[in-house]
Amino acid sequence: MTGGLADLVARARAGDKDAFEELVRQTYVDSYTLAHRLVGNEEDARDVVQEAYLRAYRGLKRFRGDAQFTTWMYRITANCAVTYLGKRACHRHEELPEDAQVADLSSHSDPEAQADRSALRDRLGVALDDLPPKLRAVVILRDIYDLPHEAIAAELGISESAAKVRLHRARRKLRERLYPMAGDDEGAGERPDAGEEGAEAVRAL
């Protein structure tokens, strides 16, 4: 942890509520961004983040500091989002994730290339929204937030091998959705590089 966050965590663990409120202030944007990517709309993302920080507050004494506080919050937020999506499964949201509009693009980019990237992000937003929640969570945590398989598995309550299987399935589904011609062959999704096309697309968000 950075010195500032480490100090705030230590004070919050000792019962300093102001320190915890400062932790929330400094990490809220990152936690909210992850929640929004996982659940797909602002209102639900706010509910997920509220629950995540409530869980963090209750479990703060168990936080040993052997990982970044922000990484710990990513894990809690992802777990809350998956639980939330399970409860919301019967209500599909068709809106494109709004965070696709704030990807980092340099102002001097070639307009045509920028338009192509924007179109890809829009298609990817739809493809991610169509993934089952369990697959969406794993691919976002791995390919956007770069969490290791063991951390993803621990927080989602699955085995590491199951996390890897879900990631492969998610990447393959994204590749087939984004590049349908390449997915026409029955075995195309099993090529060694098949998942990497989906992974690279997700990282472009």
DSSP secondary structure string, 14-47? Answer: TT-HHHHHHHHHHHHHHHHHHHHHHH-SHHHHHH
* Most confident of the following: 2-6, 164-168, 170-174: 164-168
Q: How would residue 41 be classed by pLDDT, with cut points 50, 70 and 90?
A: confident
Domain edges within the chain: 1-89, 107-205
Rounded-to-integer distance, Cα 191 and Cα 178, Å: 16
Q: What share of the chain has pLDDT > 70, as a percent? A: 67
Average pLDDT of the chain is: 76
Q: Mean of the pLDDT values across residues 84-113?
A: 48
100-155: pLDDT as tens digits: 333 333 334 455 655 655 666 677 777 887 888 888 888 888 887 778 888 888 77
Alpha helices (H) in 60-110, listed in sequence order: 69-87
The per-residue pLDDT for 103 is: 35
CATH class for the domain made up of 1-89: mainly alpha
What pLDDT is attached to residue 202?
62
Q: What would the two tokens of residue 161 be?
A: 């091998």
Q: Which of 147, 116, 151, 144 has its CA nearest to residue 128?
A: 144
Architecture of domain 107-205: Orthogonal Bundle (1.10)
